[in-house]
Structure 1
Amino acid sequence: MTDTPAEIDPGTFWRTLGARAIGMTVVTADSEEGPTGFLGLSAAHVTASPPTMLVSIDKKTSALKGVLESGHFAVNFLDAEAGHVADAFSGKAGLSGADRFLEGEWTTLATGAPVYKNALGVFDCAVDEVITRGDISIVVGTVKGVSSRGDGDPLVFFRGKTVKGVAAPE
């Protein structure tokens, strides 16, 4: 039987995607206007050899310009205590541009992209390829630097809400 599926509306798409728990990340870059970033819920690994990551960035996101201009991005995995950082980069705190970096302490690794010092882990990447799909730019990058804390619980996004800490098995 071949039924033509009904068009899936964006609300249904996002509700269904929300059934997947996602570790919250902040994706950052250093642009001509200063540090830039956004809450990146679509950050994923591509391959371990060579180490490669991807992020999906809406064309309306101001940080896209910084990522493309600088040719780099860092994916910062937030810990359970970093809700204030997630709020700053999601827009909930009313901050924009470089003001988002007032929350937390920042440094850099290999590419110069801002790195959150208390992140559970960081992948610092050089942009290799940009793929356009609809209103999204899928930015693929080779990992040039890493940092991993080795302890702490993640900040998780699930069903539209921030969930603090999911205890790691011992």
Structure 2
Amino acid sequence: MIEASDFRDAMSLLTTAVNVVTTKGSAGAHGFTASAVCSVSDTPPTLLVCMNQTSRSHAHFTDNKTLCVNVLGVQHESLSNTFASKLGSEERFEQGSWTALVTGAPVLEDALVSFDCEIEDIQQVGTHSVFMCRVVAIQQSQQDESLIYFNRAYHQVAQIAEVESA
């Protein structure tokens, strides 16, 4: 049997994008930092997002049935830490500039890309809920440096411009 701590140690070596996932509804705006986000299909455009069922904002996501995946750039390390902290929802959204697209979920204006989604299905797997999310709108920025998480630390990935030879 694989111990949970061994699994977490192994998963820390899986490089992932850093995202702030948000929702908004009658109870206000809520969000959390997530690395467990991936593409499922492009027809229809669908993402998978995993969230711990013990998260204090879990019920807001399941009730609202909407979310926005905001993919963070290198300038957002502090924002990532804020949304992973014990701060309340109002305090979290004081950092960054926020707007909305189709669903009303908060969209980080300068995110690398934001995927505005409707949650179509929720599966319980162990300690987490797996949200199957239909993408209904996308907003991209001109940012080209991504914040990633590897071996329990932030790193950055940037596009390298091609240099023309003389």
CA contact (8 A) 2:110 2:143 kept: no
The structure 2 residue matched to 1:131, chosen from 117, 123, 130, is 123
Aligned to 1:59: 53
TM-score normalised over the length of structure 2? 0.93
CA contact (8 A) 2:73 2:143 kept: no
- Name structure 2 gaps, 5 residues minimum: 162-166
Tell me by how many angstroms 1:71 deviates. Answer: 1.2
In structure 1, C-alpha distance between the alignment counterparts of 2:143 and 2:35, rounded to whole Å: 21
Tell me by how many angstroms 1:99 deviates. Answer: 1.5
CA contact (8 A) 2:51 2:128 kept: yes
Aligned to 2:164: none
TM-score normalised over the length of structure 1? 0.91
Aligned to 1:167: 158
Can you list the C-alpha shifts for 1:84-109, whole angstroms capped at 9, x where unaligned?
11011111xx4122221111110001
1:114 aligns with 2:113: no
Aligned residues with identical type, % of pairs: 26
Aligned to 2:30: 36
Letter in 2 for 1:157: Y
In structure 1, C-alpha distance between the alignment counterparts of 2:70 and 2:145, rounded to whole Å: 14
- Name structure 1 gaps, 5 residues minimum: 1-6
Q: Which runs of 4+ in 1 moved over 2 A?
A: none
Tell me by how many angstroms 1:141 deviates. Answer: 1.1
Aligned to 1:3: none
Letter in 2 for 1:62: R
In structure 2, C-alpha distance between the alignment counterparts of 1:45 and 1:63, rounded to whole Å: 23
In structure 1, C-alpha distance between the alignment counterparts of 2:70 and 2:133, rounded to whole Å: 14
CA contact (8 A) 1:127 1:140 kept: yes
Letter in 2 for 1:125: C
Q: What is the CA RMSD across the aligned residues, in angstroms? A: 1.1
Letter in 1 for 2:116: D
